[in-house]
């Protein structure tokens, strides 16, 4: 990847965060400190997740083992192997990874409720927290691959897809922060919307596990997974916006 391609991919990956901050009222209310604090909380949360993964997950002796094993029949249909004890153990490991992923929700709860924020509204608070959360995730997971890829000479679409994936993650992070704001900060929300809010938050929180299953379990290629993430992020953003607007209406 040439240096020019590296800068293009870096702008695609990190540029939307800067555009979102400057194009919204976040820049007018000087919420940069809130975003930085949220990014630091994300880094701490990622460290806790790393320790939990290293402590509770077992490394298979067979490095080539894939927990999503399929038995292919003559008619090109696939049956998932559930009976194997090794496969059952692998699925328990995948379930444990999904549960450990909910540590992100705890970190987001801390960022929204326990951090000291300036006198900003609830609308700006969750946006600033979600923005900082998504930016830290992009730096932690995508900056190093981009830098390593810039040393290569061959062009690849993977880094462009990573940039698009970072954009989807930005939307999902802000959506999850909005749902978390409704769950933990807004007290007078309609009772009929509470189950929907929690269900949507659960879907967004488990998106990493869902995409992992699509890649490893169903064998989806990276472009298809990124397309799914982009579509899902837009859908969840629309639903979160509708829920947030409904909770802001005065109750009759």
Domain boundaries, the chain: 3-248
Kindly tell me the number of DSSP H helices and DSSP E strands found in the chain: 9, 2
pLDDT above 50 for 188: yes
- Crossing angle of helices 158-184 and 122-149, in 10° steps, is 160
Q: What is the pLDDT of residue 59?
A: 57
- For the record, the structure tokens of 184 come out as 């933990």
Q: What is the pLDDT of residues 10-42, one digit of tens each?
A: 899 999 999 999 998 888 887 888 999 999 999
Position 252 pLDDT exceeds 70: no
Predicted TM-score (pTM) of this structure:
0.83
d(CA 217, CA 68): 5
Instruction: Give residues with Cβ within 8 angstroms of 134, minimum separation 6.
Output: 17, 166, 169, 170, 172, 173, 174
């Amino acid at each position: 990847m040439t240096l020019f391609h590296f800068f293009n991919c870096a702008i695609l990956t990190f540029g939307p965060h800067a555009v979102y901050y400057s194009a919204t009222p976040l820049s007018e209310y000087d919420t940069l400190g809130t975003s930085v604090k949220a990014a630091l909380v994300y880094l701490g949360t990622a460290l806790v997740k790393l320790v939990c993964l290293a402590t509770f997950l077992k490394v298979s002796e067979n490095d080539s083992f894939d927990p999503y094993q399929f038995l292919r029949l003559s008619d090109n249909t696939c049956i998932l192997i559930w009976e194997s004890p090794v496969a059952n153990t692998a699925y328990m490991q995948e379930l444990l990874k999904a549960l450990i992923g909910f540590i992100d929700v705890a970190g987001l709860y801390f960022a929204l409720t326990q951090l000291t924020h300036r006198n900003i509204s609830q609308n700006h608070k969750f946006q600033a927290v979600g923005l900082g959360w998504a930016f830290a995730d992009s730096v932690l997971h995508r900056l190093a691959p981009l830098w390593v890829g810039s040393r290569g000479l061959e062009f690849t679409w993977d880094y462009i897809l990573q940039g698009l994936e970072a954009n989807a993650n930005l939307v999902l992070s802000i959506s999850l922060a909005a749902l978390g704001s409704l769950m933990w900060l807004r007290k007078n929300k309609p009772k009929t919307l509470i189950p929907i809010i929690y269900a949507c938050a659960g879907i967004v929180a488990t998106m990493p596990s869902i995409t992992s299953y699509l890649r490893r379990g169903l064998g989806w290629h990276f472009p298809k997974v990124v397309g799914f993430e982009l579509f899902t992020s837009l859908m969840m953003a629309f639903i979160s916006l509708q829920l947030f607007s409904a909770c802001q209406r005065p109750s009759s």
